[in-house]
Amino acid sequence: MQFDPPLIAATLIRRYKRFLFDAVLEETGEAITGSCPNTGSMLGLNTPGSRIWLSRNDDGKRKYPHRFELIEADGTVVGVNTGLPNRLAEEAIGLGMVDDFADYPLIRREQKYGRQSRIDLLLSADDRPDLYIEVKNVHFIRTPGLAEFPDTPTARGTRHLAELADMVAAGKRAAMVYLIQRDDCERFAIAADLDPVYAEAFKCARRAGVEAFAIKCNVSRDSITPDGTVLVDNM
């Protein structure tokens, strides 16, 4: 996925109220307020003084034209926009990076299922059960080489694991895809100390037959592209 038009470099002043950030544009020195497309804790990715990159939209539909896209952290560039993982996961599937997912000829997005939820991707083929895929954004690293999810408790994520297990029990196929918007990792694990309830739900889902995959990405100020799967610690 290419960033078009090119992103704008800036220095982060603060990220606050979940949806907002203040920054100083690198080229002009202008202080701006923008929107943050990530309502999570962004643990480790909101340090004042960090170099960041922003997209800009001047169509008048946004209250704040600038949007937070990337940040430099731990010696690499990390994507923070949680609106991108589904698109990147679908790209990885199309490239044949995830098991046999590319063998499914039909992909549908945001289909209703489970307990008043929508599945991120639903793959179908005439000769096999439907495949329900839930995609989660990952950008948290505290141990070199190890990406972790979640970085804060997620009741919604816990519910999704149970719903995927229900799909397997109903004779369907189900998978979690953890999309890592950084490339400095070789492994993925559940952060059980940060959300023990999610960790237990993950173990139960795996025992029920829910599959789990993690995909890391190459991230630069020009693009974010899937780079391949990394090892998932199944606890």
Contact 8, 25 (CB under 8 A): yes
Sign of the alpha-carbon torsion through 133, 139, 142, 147: positive
Amino acid at 212: A
CA distance to 1, 158, 193, per residue, from 149 (Å): 23, 12, 11
Structure tokens at 63: 């209250």
pLDDT computed for residue 140 by the predictor:
96
Write down the CATH number for the domain with range 8-79: 2.40.50.580
Amino acid at 182: R
- Alpha-carbon span 24 to 39, nearest angstrom: 21
CATH 2.40.50.580 in the chain, residue ranges: 8-79
Structure tokens at 16: 């606050």
- Alpha-carbon span 158 to 155, nearest angstrom: 5
Match 């209250």 to its residue by tokens. 63
pLDDT computed for residue 79 by the predictor:
97
C-alpha angle 153-158-162 in degrees, rounded to nearest 5: 170
Q: Which fold has domain 85-232?
A: Trna Endonuclease; Chain: A, domain 1 (3.40.1350)
Residue-wise pLDDT tens digits, 136-176: 999 999 999 999 999 999 999 999 999 999 999 999 999 99
Residues with pLDDT less than 50, the chain: none
Residue-wise pLDDT tens digits, 203-221: 999 999 999 999 999 999 9
Match 């959300």 to its residue by tokens. 195
CATH 3.40.1350.60 in the chain, residue ranges: 85-232
pLDDT computed for residue 113 by the predictor:
84
